[in-house]
């Protein structure tokens, strides 16, 4: 058993609490960035006015709500 003084307990408590807060914050940031990346993949950019819009899922053509131009769904490439 490790013998420590009573003054070590507050330091241990703060260390464990700060570690838990740091882990929760990192997990939240990782989750938030994953959701943001997923949302950007679903977005489409108008080729005429460069407005970012969310096209209708499954449709090959979508109409820009700003300039009313027809746009084609861009196929993401792995280049």
Q: Is 55 in the site for Zn ion (CB under 5 A)?
A: no
> Residues 43, 49, 50, CA angle at the centre, nearest 5°?
40
Closest approach of Zn ion to the CB of residue 42, in Å: 17
* Phi, psi at 61, each rounded to 5°: -115, 140
Of 13 and 70, CB closest to Zn ion: 70
Q: Is 66 in the site for Zn ion (CB under 5 A)?
A: yes
Of 21 and 50, CB closest to Zn ion: 50
Taking the CA atoms of 38, 41, 42 and 44 in sequence, report the sign of the dihedral they define.
positive
Q: Which residues, 24 to 43, sit near Zn ion by CB under 5 A?
A: none
């Amino acid at each position: 058993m490790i013998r420590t003084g009573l003054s070590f307990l507050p330091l241990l408590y703060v260390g464990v609490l700060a570690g838990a807060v740091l882990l929760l914050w990192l997990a939240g940031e990782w989750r938030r960035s994953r959701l943001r990346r997923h949302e950007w993949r679903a977005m489409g950019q108008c080729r005429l006015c460069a407005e970012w819009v969310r096209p209708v899922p499954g449709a090959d053509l979508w109409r820009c709500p700003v300039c009313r131009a027809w746009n084609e769904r861009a196929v993401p490439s792995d280049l």
